[in-house]
């Protein structure tokens, strides 16, 4: 792939680096440190889930029965596909394919949007049944601690959804920059970084889905 | 300045292979959850989720080709979660061992409108396609 | 300064060149003023608290106001001052210089973390005016869920300040990995950078857990989720697990960089290579790892018998790497050419006081003793011996040590020695009496107390005035130094690490030419 690089904006590395490669490697380590901390951020929700599930297993089964596994399954497929299109987008930037980069990033953005729309419908159904986090919980249940399940459900999926929205914002920023020809074989760092972030969002969902919907 | 140093471009087969594997494993997760394995349902689901996460980490996120420190950071964070879980469980799961009155939760102000299992069945009978 | 007299302080001027700077030295300096401000703010609150505690009856404040005071003191000191103190204020300045780099890995991220610090601190101050907080800095549930006033804002402040800490950690990890000078392998780095690196690892891995904890607390307050609130079926001890999972590693964020400074001071002022370089480096990493395993010792009285046994054993383990460092420093002093200049005085003060703090920590780790000491002044004295006796003294020592480098001026050595002596005397008067108070059963966070404790409380309070005098002297001579101080040479102490091979103050991009490293960091001529 030896397209002329004239359509791309040349990148100059910051003064304290010896070359752009060192800058890129540093960005990756920094991003992985950030991802490690994001994992630990979400960990609190999983620990709370584990503790309460251990204490009240029947209540969790009851709570899960209110979730539609088909919508969760569909959303999982959507997110996995978006991860694939994201990494293909990074690869396109790396191989100087400007149009492909824009297209892959756009599809990722759209898929993220689809995820949020499905989430919206799921939340609406919960609200309709009064299955909201505690104060607002007006629903019916066998277990008198059912509100705890929904508290964990809403905080977990809500925080995840917030990260999806942030990701969509980042993708939009990338699409604009990609259209301007800023990403090519010598500089695609932002695409790589957002890609890593996006895969993290996918990983969190990979765990949320079975734990909340399936078991 | 070696700006023109080429980054390693991952062959597409890794990406496509991982994508297919993830789709397949998702279907497996759902299928297995329909089968009642008793207490094994949770560990099996978690195990499959771990395998999926490993695929994403190694291939989509590039840990297979990256510097070791990135993997060390990732593994450390998982190790921290394991510690967090294990020791918190060491507390919560063993309460009441010496002093039985320390066990359990009493007299809570629940917002749930509690119904009996029979009434519950009647209200939500359309959800009984769930195995449990 | 550079050949044209320009250095990082005067190479550009105007408030915009400071507020939008990407220079790690300027950011470090802004952090320095910020955390010193936070320290005096928290310190003032402490002085007021101790005045109230001189007598069992009311002196200046009501009981509710007293509760707000100790909460504010704890929150300001922990979140606004001590966590960022050495890493962000001194570390930001010194890390690239010690590595032979022109800046940190991510200068814009550095500025961002500074702004998070400002923003978080403003929220903390806002919390005072929006009803005040009286939950204690630990925000234990269920009271923190129901407490009125500014608890929401204080929790939010801590969350934002945590972000500042995380971003600093991310920056330092990348900097140490990628920006070492040519020839500087991992085992040729100064031990200060090893310490900052281990601290950065803890910052990145532990802080997000307090982030989610505070977020869950906020959600619990606003929506009533029910995981921490016993009235709704939740578990208040679960909150404590969540909170201390971060807050224990946090104390190592406080102390590890302090130990790094100790290694620098002992080598420079004894003119010797460090004894046991690798052991000190590895022990920093060991402390970082083991620190994650011991949080339950803050809650010995609330857990299952099985859990407390595990935590007690691991707590004994975590003292070992700290002990290794202390022995190595002492061995470094042996046969050294010791000069008792003011920075070294702080090294000696640290050695003595931190050891007391560490030892009493092991005492508290013993289950049978902790039953009696928990929630008494013994605990208060222990952590002040480690945090003031350890971190604050190291911070001040480091400040004196690197002052000529960052300001280009010398300070009045005689006044510095007087201040150091006053400080250590005052500090021990305040807190040694508190060990005795605690052993006799005086509970912590109590506004009023039994008549029999009054004499010791009174003595403890007088110590705070001695400490205040010391700090006033310090402010005076540092101010004089900054404004009309004598010009500092590039290497006033004879240090061998890379920051001393460049100008005082350094030029904007630190080194005229990035040095190539051949020897180890503490290569002193014998």
pLDDT in tens, C485-496: 999 999 999 999
- Which of the other chains make 3 or more beta carbon contacts under 8 angstroms with chain C? A, B
Say if residue C250's pLDDT is above 60.
yes
Mean pLDDT of A5-12: 82
Domain boundaries defined on chain A: 18-214
Band of residue C31 on the pLDDT scale cut at 50, 70, 90: very high
Cβ–Cβ of C226/A145 closer than 8 Å? yes
ipTM score for this prediction? 0.92
pLDDT band at C254 (very low <50, low <70, confident <90, very high): very high
Q: How many CB pairs under 8 A join B and C?
A: 63
Beta strands in chain A (DSSP E): 140-141
Q: pLDDT tens, A76-129? A: 999 999 999 999 999 999 999 999 999 999 999 999 999 999 999 999 888 887
**Strand, coil or helix: A13:** coil
Of chain B, the percentage scoring pLDDT greater than 70 comes to 81
How does residue B6 score in pLDDT terms, banded at 50, 70 and 90?
low
pLDDT, residue B1, reads 35
Measured in Å, how far apart are chain C's first and last C-alpha atoms?
Answer: 30
A1 confidence band (pLDDT: 50, 70, 90):
very low
Q: Chain B: give the shortest CA distance to residue C216, in Å.
A: 16
Distance CA C279, CA C424 (A): 29
Rounded CA gap, A150 and A107, in Å? Answer: 32
Mean pLDDT of C336-351: 95
Residue B4 pLDDT grade (very low, low, confident, very high; cuts 50, 70, 90): very low
How close A107 gets to chain B, by Cα (Å)? 15
Q: Contact A206/B6, CB-based, under 8 Å? A: no
- Tell me the two tokens of residue C452: 């029999």
Average pLDDT of the residues in C53-64: 94
Distance from C-alpha of A45 to C-alpha of A149, rounded to nearest angstrom: 11
Is the model's pLDDT at A136 over the cut of 80?
no
Torsion of CA B56, B60, B61, B62, to 10 degrees: 120
A155 neighbourhood in chain C, CB within 8 Å: 215-216, 219, 225
Q: At C230, is the pLDDT very low, low, confident or very high (cuts 50, 70, 90)?
A: confident
How far is CA C117 from its chain centroid? 15
Compare CB distances from A147 to C173, C211, C226 and report the shortest one's residue: C226
SS (H, E, C) chain B: CCCCCCCCCCCHHHHHHHHHHHHHHHHHHHHHHCCCCHHHHHHHHHHHHHHHHHHHHHHHCCCCCCCHHHHHHHHHHHHHHHHHHHHHHHHHCCCCCCCHHHCCCCCCCCCCEECCHHHHHHHCHHHCCCCC
Query: How far, in Å, CA of C497 to CA of C522, rounded?
Result: 7
Q: What does the alpha-carbon distance between residue A84 and residue C143 come to, in Å, rounded to a whole number?
A: 47
The pLDDT assigned to B125 comes to 59
| C123 vs C218: CA distance, rounded Å | 15
| pLDDT tens per residue, range C397-408 | 999 999 999 999
CB pair distance less than 8 Å for A140 and B111: no
Is C177 part of the contact surface with chain B (CB cutoff 8 Å)? yes
List C-alpha distances in Å: A182 to A96, A174, A187: 10, 9, 8
Residue C13, burial from CB neighbour count under 10 angstroms (0-12, 13-18, 19+)? exposed
Residues 6+ apart with CB under 8 A from C191: C260, C263, C264, C274, C277, C280, C281, C284, C521
Contact C296 B93 (CB under 8 A): no
Q: Check residue A94 and give its pLDDT.
A: 92
**Confidence grade of residue A175 (pLDDT, cut at 50, 70, 90):** very high
Partner-chain residue, chosen from B9, B85, B123, that has the shortest CB–CB distance to A50: B85
Is the model's pLDDT at A214 over the cut of 90?
Answer: no
DSSP state of A140: E
pLDDT exceeds cutoff 60 at C56: yes
Return the CA Rg of chain A.
21
Q: Per-residue b/e over A122-159, b at no fewer than 16 CB within 10 Å?
A: bbeebeeeebbbbebbebbbbbbbbbbbbbbbbbbbeb
Q: Say how far apart CA C135 and CA C75 lie, in whole Å.
A: 10
Q: Is C472 exposed, middle or buried (0-12, 13-18, 19+ CB in 10 A)?
A: exposed
Q: In this complex, is the C-beta atom of C285 within 8 Å of any C-beta atom belonging to chain B?
A: no
Q: Which of C7-21, C110-124, C410-424 has the lowest mean pLDDT?
A: C7-21
DSSP state of C507: B
Q: Is the pLDDT of residue B127 over 70?
A: no
Q: Does residue A213 carry a pLDDT above 50?
A: yes
pLDDT for residue A3 = 52
Confidence of residue A5 (pLDDT cuts 50, 70, 90): confident
Which domains, and CATH codes, for chain C? 15-501 (1.20.210.10)
pLDDT at B112 over 90: no
Cross-strand pairs, B114: A141
Q: What are the angstrom distances between the C-alpha of A81 and each of A171, B51, B92, B119?
A: 15, 17, 39, 41
C292 interaction partners in chain B (CB closer than 8 Å): 80, 83
Q: Is 70 exceeded by the pLDDT of residue C2?
A: no
Mean pLDDT of C456-469: 97
CB proximity A74 to B under 8 Å: no
pLDDT of residue B3: 41
Nearest-angstrom CA–CA distance, A8 and C200: 37
* Inter-chain residue contact A215 with B33, CB threshold 8 Å: yes
Which of A13, A36, A142 shows the shortest C-beta gap to B76? A36
- What's this model's pTM, rounded to 2 decimal places? 0.94
Q: How far is B73 from chain C (nearest CA, A)?
A: 9
Q: Do A199 and B56 touch (CB under 8 A)?
A: yes
- With beta carbons less than 8 A apart as the criterion, state whether C110 and C24 touch: yes
- Looking at residue A56, the DSSP 8-state letter turns out to be -
* Position A2 confidence tier, pLDDT thresholds 50, 70, 90: very low
On average, the pLDDT of chain C sits at 94
Cβ-proximal residues to A101 (8 Å cutoff; 6+ apart), any chain? A89, A92, A93, A178, A183, A191
CB contact under 8 A, C293 and B87: yes
Q: Is residue C49 a contact partner of residue C447, using CB atoms and an 8 Å limit?
A: no
CB-nearest partner of A144 from B2, B77, B114: B114
C-alpha C307/C-alpha C210 separation (Å) is 21
In this predicted structure, the answer to whether residue B2 has a pLDDT above a threshold of 50 is no
| Tens-place pLDDT, residues C300-324 | 988 888 999 999 999 999 999 999 9
Instruction: Please give, rounded to a whole number of angstroms, the shortest distance from the CA of B85 to a CA of chain A.
Output: 6
Cβ-based contacts of A135 with chain C (< 8 Å):
223-224
* CATH architecture of residue range(s) A18-214: Up-down Bundle (1.20)
Q: Alpha carbon of C197 to those of A50, C256, C281, C283: distances in Å?
A: 32, 9, 10, 12
Please state the rounded mean pLDDT for residues C421-440: 97
Comparing A81-85, B96-100, C440-444, the range with the smallest average pLDDT is B96-100
Closest residue in A to B68 (Cα–Cα): A29
Query: B15 — contact with chain C (CB < 8 Å)?
Result: no
Interface test with C, best of B91, B96, B104, B114 (most C CBs within 10 A): B91
Q: At residue C119, does pLDDT exceed 60? A: yes
CB contact, 8 Å: A73 with chain B? yes
C199 has a pLDDT exceeding 50: yes
Subunits that touch chain A (at least 3 Cβ pairs < 8 angstroms)? B, C
**Phi and psi dihedrals of B104, rounded to 5?**
90, 165
Q: How many CB pairs under 8 A join A and B?
A: 181
Q: How close, in Å, is residue B6 to chain A by CA atoms?
A: 7
Reply yes or no on whether the pLDDT at C58 is more than 70. yes
CB contact under 8 A, B132 and A140: no
- Mean pLDDT value of segment B94-112: 72
Across residues A44-72, what is the average pLDDT? 90
| Three-state secondary structure call for residue C131 | coil
Dist CA C69 CA C63 (whole Å): 10
Q: Which of residues 55-74 of B touch C (CB under 8 A)?
A: 69, 73
Helical (H) or strand (E) element with C197: helix C191-223
Which chain A residues touch C96 with a CB distance below 8 Å? Answer: 16
In this predicted structure, the answer to whether residue B99 has a pLDDT above a threshold of 90 is no
């Amino acid at each position: 792939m030896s397209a002329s690089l004239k359509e791309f904006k040349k990148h100059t590395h910051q003064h304290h680096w010896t070359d752009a490669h060192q800058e890129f490697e540093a960005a990756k380590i920094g991003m992985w440190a950030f991802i490690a901390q994001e994992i630990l951020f979400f960990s609190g929700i999983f620990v709370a889930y584990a503790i309460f599930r251990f204490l009240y297993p029947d209540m969790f089964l009851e709570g899960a029965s209110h979730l539609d596994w088909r919508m969760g399954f569909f959303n999982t497929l959507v997110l996995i596909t978006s991860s694939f299109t994201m990494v293909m987008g990074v690869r396109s930037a790396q191989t100087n394919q400007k149009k492909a980069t824009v297209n892959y990033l756009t599809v990722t953005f759209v898929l993220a949007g689809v995820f949020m729309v499905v989430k919206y419908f799921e939340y609406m159904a919960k609200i309709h049944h009064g299955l909201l986090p505690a104060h607002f919980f007006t629903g019916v249940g066998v277990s008198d601690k059912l509100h705890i399940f929904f508290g964990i459900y809403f905080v977990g999926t809500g925080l995840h959804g917030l990260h999806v929205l942030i990701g969509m914002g980042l993708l939009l920023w990338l699409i604009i920059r990609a259209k301007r020809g800023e990403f090519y074989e010598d500089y695609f760092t932002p695409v790589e970084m957002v890609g890593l972030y996006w895969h993290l969002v996918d990983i969190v969902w990979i765990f949320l889905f079975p734990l909340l919907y399936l078991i | 300045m070696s700006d023109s140093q080429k980054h390693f471009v991952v062959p597409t087969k890794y990406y496509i292979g991982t994508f297919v594997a993830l789709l397949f494993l998702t279907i497996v997760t759902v299928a297995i959850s329909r089968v009642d394995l008793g207490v094994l349902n949770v560990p099996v689901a978690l195990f499959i989720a771990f395998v999926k996460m490993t695929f994403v980490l190694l291939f989509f996120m590039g840990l297979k080709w990256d510097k070791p420190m990135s993997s060390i950071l990732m593994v450390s964070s998982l190790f921290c979660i394991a510690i967090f879980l294990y020791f918190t469980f060491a507390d919560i799961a063993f309460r009441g061992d010496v002093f039985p009155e320390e066990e359990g939760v009493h007299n809570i102000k629940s917002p749930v409108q509690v119904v009996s299992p029979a009434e519950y069945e009647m209200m939500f009978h359309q959800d009984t396609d769930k195995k449990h | 300064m550079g050949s044209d007299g320009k250095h990082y302080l005067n190479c550009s001027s105007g408030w915009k060149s400071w507020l939008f700077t990407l220079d790690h030295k300027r950011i470090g300096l802004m952090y320095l003023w910020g955390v010193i401000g936070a320290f005096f703010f928290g310190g003032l609150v402490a002085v007021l608290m101790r005045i109230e505690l001189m007598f069992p009856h009311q002196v200046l404040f009501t009981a509710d106001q007293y509760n707000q005071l100790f909460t504010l003191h704890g929150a300001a000191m922990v979140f606004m001052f001590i966590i960022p103190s050495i890493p962000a204020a001194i570390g930001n300045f010194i890390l690239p210089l010690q590595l032979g780099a022109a800046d940190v890995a991510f200068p814009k991220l550095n500025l961002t973390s500074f702004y998070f610090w400002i923003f978080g601190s403003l929220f903390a101050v806002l919390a005072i005016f929006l009803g005040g907080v009286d939950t204690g800095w630990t925000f234990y549930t269920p009271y923190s869920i129901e407490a009125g006033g500014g608890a929401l804002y204080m929790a939010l402040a801590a969350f934002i300040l945590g972000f500042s800490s995380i971003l600093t950690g991310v920056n330092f990890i990348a900097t140490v990995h990628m920006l070492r000078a040519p020839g500087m392998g991992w085992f040729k780095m100064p031990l200060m950078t090893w310490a900052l690196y281990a601290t950065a690892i803890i910052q990145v891995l532990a802080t997000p857990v307090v982030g989610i904890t505070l977020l869950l607390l906020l959600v619990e307050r606003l929506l009533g989720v029910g995981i921490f609130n016993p009235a709704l079926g939740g578990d208040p001890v679960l909150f404590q697990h969540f909170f201390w999972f971060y807050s224990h590693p946090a104390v190592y964020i406080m102390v590890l960089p302090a130990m790094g400074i100790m290694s620098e001071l002992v080598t420079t002022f004894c003119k010797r290579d460090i004894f046991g370089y690798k052991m000190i480096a590895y022990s920093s990493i060991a402390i970082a790892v083991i620190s994650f395993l011991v949080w339950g010792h803050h809650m010995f009285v609330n857990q299952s018998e099985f859990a407390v046994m595990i935590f007690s054993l691991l707590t004994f383990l975590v003292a070992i790497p700290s002990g290794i460092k202390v022995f190595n420093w002492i061995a470094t002093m042996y046969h050294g050419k010791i000069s008792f200049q003011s920075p070294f005085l702080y090294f000696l003060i640290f050695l003595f006081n931190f050891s007391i703090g560490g030892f009493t920590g092991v005492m508290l780790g013993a289950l049978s003793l902790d039953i009696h000491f928990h929630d008494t002044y013994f605990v208060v004295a222990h952590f002040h011996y480690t945090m003031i006796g350890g971190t604050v003294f190291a911070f001040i020592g480091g400040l004196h040590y690197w002052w000529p480098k960052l300001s280009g001026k010398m300070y009045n050595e005689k006044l510095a020695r007087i201040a150091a002596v006053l400080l250590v005397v005052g500090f021990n008067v305040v807190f040694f009496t508190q060990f005795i108070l605690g052993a006799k059963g005086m509970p912590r966070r109590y506004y009023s107390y039994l008549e029999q404790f009054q004499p010791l409380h009174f003595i403890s309070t007088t110590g705070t005035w001695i400490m205040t005098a010391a700090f006033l002297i310090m402010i005076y001579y540092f101010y004089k130094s900054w404004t009309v101080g004598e010009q500092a040479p590039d290497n006033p102490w004879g240090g061998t690490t890379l920051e001393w091979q460049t100008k005082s103050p350094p030029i904007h991009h630190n080194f005229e030419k990035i040095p190539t490293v051949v020897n180890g960091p503490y290569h002193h001529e014998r």
